[in-house]
Chains A and B, each alone.
Chain A
Amino acid sequence: MTKKIIRSKSPNTFTELPDDWIIICRCEEITKGEIRRAVYEGMSTPNEIKRYLRAGMGLCQGQTCSHLIRFIVARELGIPALEVPAPTSRAPARPVEMGVLANDGLKLQAVVN
């Protein structure tokens, strides 16, 4: 079951950090500062960060950055990283061409139908 999160506007203003411009999501070139700001603006889970910024949504499917994002979200929310859910895993596990998918082993059956 999804963990309960209470979300209301932060009483503080957003503070920038000197290392905010370090790239976290290498594929989509999303920086630590952009992720921190998204958390400040209410994105509270890696899935929401992903949908809002495309961080972790690139060609590599978040294999490099997803755990980095979890740590950043945890630190910004002041909760243990354990409590930040991992982003959803989705097929295909590796990029696959549309033409290859279209010719999958069930194609013949599909044509008959």
Chain B
Amino acid sequence: MERYDLIVIGAGPAGLSAAIEAASAGMSVVVYDENSRPGGQLFKQIHKFFGSREHKAKERGFRIGEKLLAEANDLGVKVMLSSTVLGVYENREITVMTASQVNHVKASSIIIATGASENMLPFKGWTLPGVIGAGAAQTMMNLHGVRPGKRVLMIGSGNVGLVVGYQIMQAGCTLAAVVDASPTIGGYGVHAAKIARTGLPFYTSHTIKEAHGSDRVEAATIVEVDKSWNPVPGSEKRIEIDTICIAVGLKPMSQLAAMAGCVMEENPLKGGVVPVCDEFGETSLAGVFVAGDVAGIEEASSAMIQGKIAGAASALRMGCISEDIFKSKCTEYRRSLEQLREGMFAHKNRGKPKESTDEGFKLSQSLLQRGFVADVEISHYPGVPPAEKRARGIVPVIECTQNIPCDPCQDACRKGCIKVGTTITKLPEIDAAVECTGCGMCVVSCPGQAIFLINECVEGDFANVSIPYEFHPLPNKGDKGIALSRSGEYLGEAEVISVVTSRASDETSMLTMRVCGELSMKARFFRAN
């Protein structure tokens, strides 16, 4: 029987990281993935990741996938694609189907890194063609270049709903609205803000009541819900759309672990049914590990670290690394993991009221409910320079108002103008003493697209506002259009005075528009005429 030191099931961020870790300890490793492309969901993630440099922050998901795959290949990991693991049996044996051939394979350790599957929401008409999962939308538009629909309604405002909603706009579709039954937006404020400033409405405390249509979706009715989640009669709104995208959370895809005989538990903090495992990911079955979303829903960044930990543990089990090396690796990995598990969106803080930041700044309720920070609130935050500072010349304005684990902005500024510190969930601060050169690296590096450059010292009663821009077609210098507010409302006329796209910014352009001077702290999006 075919046999390896380690079998990894799933070539996503956790699985590839585990394979790399194990292979670099000298183990023979095979990775199976049912998809024809490796990387799991990474190849559908065209947005930039959060976190710190060690977490590959500000890199786009699909590029991280390419790097992991190249690294695995260099280390001699055998990555078997279009290979579906059918079952996990006693004695760490699996059956795997590749191109209509079922093989039996054994290993000293198995790491199950099968990721997550989408939660679904049943409603009247949810079986109609045109109702799809958010993952389906990503697959169609980001892998295969086909639009999921022309006008799309997004159900769910968690990070998946927000990120996919934004990607739907990038694909050239119209996003009609984002709906969430909760009274607040579930995902990062910065993700919501980059949608809101295009003029898109958020319907919090709303749910979908019905999808209309006979053979395909033609419209949807949404309805307000009260505090007990009951529909409020008379609050129905009909929205004309052809596609409804459901993004109401993920659950661990733990069936293989259950099938293998691992002791399972239902854990709401982990998003569903997961195998009980120790701190290294080892389940109740010796040598059977889990890593990534299958062990509990988190982000791709934490999945990569969990993969490394499980990979190292499997290496220790084989005697391929010493106890000492294992311990020092794990200490480092765990520190890195803990960084990502901080902040107001961390699992441990779920359900806690969102009132103020760790530093004591009042959180924007407008951002939580409607997706944008209100004009009156914005000056409260430490990333927003005071009027005196703005009056002296070009400055960055960092509209990062929630504690999320992310710090690329402080590396972006070569002058050291932006400080987050070692606790990467802290809000970035502007050092008023440092003079901004206007290079814009912070603008294009921020994964949340929350940094703008403001220059109020331009001739006439004008101000220049530089914004990150990721849509097609890219406006040109001299284009005339309108400036939109954080909520996407018309503010006034705007003219593009420069568009800069650098290699380092990885397709995020910095668009600078000239607007009426009084709009400098309001104008946050440009729309060409």
Residues of A at the B interface (CB closer than 8 Å) are 19, 22-24, 26, 32, 61, 63-65, 67-68, 81-82, 86, 88-94, 96-97, 100-101, 103-106
Contact = CB atoms under 8 A, between A and B. Distances in A.
A104 B102 contact: yes
B76 interface: no
Interface stretch (B54-62, B120-128, B314-322, B384-392): B120-128
Contact of B95 (A63, A68, A91): A91
A68 B102 contact: no
B251 A23 contact: no
Nearest to A26: B127
A25 to B, nearest CB: 10
A23 B125 CA distance: 9
Please provide the 10 A-B residue pairs with the shortest distance between their CB atoms, ordered closest to farther: A91-B87, A92-B86, A89-B255, A104-B102, A89-B258, A105-B103, A89-B259, A86-B273, A82-B266, A94-B84
A96 B127 CA distance: 25
B25 interface: no
Contact of B259 (A91, A97, A104): A91
12 contacts: A22-B123, A22-B126, A24-B122, A32-B122, A63-B117, A81-B266, A86-B258, A86-B264, A89-B255, A93-B86, A97-B100, A104-B103
B85 to A, nearest CB: 6
Given A91-B259, A92-B87, A94-B97, 8 more contacts: A22-B123, A22-B126, A23-B127, A63-B117, A63-B255, A93-B85, A100-B102, A105-B1
Contacts of B254: 89
Nearest to A72: B122
A48 to B, nearest CB: 18
B272 interface: yes
Given A67-B251, A91-B86, A105 B122 contact: no
Interface of B: 1-2, 34, 84-87, 89, 95, 97, 100-104, 117, 119-120, 122-124, 126-127, 251, 254-256, 258-259, 264, 266, 268, 272-273
Nearest to B87: A91
Contact of B104 (A24, A26, A94, A104): A104
Contacts of A22: 122-124, 126
B273 A94 contact: no
B126 A101 contact: no
A40 B169 CA distance: 46
Contacts of B1: 105
A88 B259 CA distance: 8
A100 B83 CA distance: 13
B97 to A, nearest CB: 6
B37 to A, nearest CB: 17
A100 B97 contact: yes
A113 to B, nearest CB: 15
A90 B34 CA distance: 17
A82 B272 CA distance: 9
Nearest to B102: A104
Nearest to B266: A82
B280 to A, nearest CB: 23
A22 B264 CA distance: 30
A88 B123 CA distance: 26
Contacts of B84: 93-94, 96
Nearest to A94: B84
Q: Which of A23, A32, A81, A91 has the most CB of B within 10 A?
A: A91
Contact of B102 (A19, A26, A88, A101): A101
B120 A64 contact: yes
Contacts of A88: 258
Q: Which of B85, B87, B102 has the most CB of A within 10 A?
A: B102
A5 to B, nearest CB: 16
A111 to B, nearest CB: 16
A20 to B, nearest CB: 11
A32 B256 CA distance: 27
A107 B251 CA distance: 37
Nearest to A65: B120
Contacts of B126: 22-23
B100 A23 contact: no
Contacts of B117: 63
Contact of B256 (A19, A26, A93, A96): A93
Contacts of A103: 101-102
Nearest to B97: A96
Nearest to A107: B102
B266 A86 contact: yes
B268 A82 contact: yes
Given A19-B124, A67-B272, A93 B266 contact: no
A29 to B, nearest CB: 8
A86 B259 CA distance: 12
A58 to B, nearest CB: 13
B255 A106 contact: no
